[in-house]
Amino acid sequence: MRSILFTLIFLSQITYADDDSKRYKAAKFYKQQAQSAVYASKANVKGDCQLMLTMHHIDQKYAQLKRIKYTGSPKVCKVAKRELKSYINKNIRYDITEKYLRIEVSRW
């Protein structure tokens, strides 16, 4: 019984941890920008992309995007990264301190 309970708790945490846009305001903003760029892309891109954003915290309220790494469909990732590059070294207000933000962008 304990092993079943432990397995259920462990699996529920894994499914919750796939995207940070539901937990962090900054991640939600970046995901909206990347997702809208992928949908507005004139190229017929299909697939999904997992983006890892590295943040640098300036003070208690603001952070800057420093690095973008990705895995997944190359065309979708290229469009999303191109959109997010314009936000590198620009201040964004955040609610909870987090160094890395995970975002998933897809189009099917």
Mean pLDDT of 21-30: 96
**8, pLDDT greater than 70:** no
What percentage of the chain's residues is helix, strand, coil (to nearest 5)?
40, 30, 25
Quick check: 5 pLDDT over 60? yes
Q: What value does the mean pLDDT take over residues 55-67?
A: 97
Predicted local confidence at residue 10, as pLDDT: 62
Higher pLDDT, 33 or 17: 33
Neighbours of 82 (CB within 10 A): 13
**Domains, the chain:** 19-107 (3.30.1150.10)
Chain position carrying tokens 């309220």: 61
Q: How far apart are CA 13 and CA 79, in angstroms?
A: 30
- In this prediction, residues 31-46 reach a mean pLDDT of 95
Predicted pLDDT of residue 43:
87
- What tokens appear for 76 in the block? 């979708």
Structure confidence at residue 9 (pLDDT): 67
d(CA 59, CA 61): 6
54: pLDDT strictly greater than 80 = yes
pTM of the model: 0.83
Which has the closest alpha carbon to 68: 86, 49, 81, 83?
81
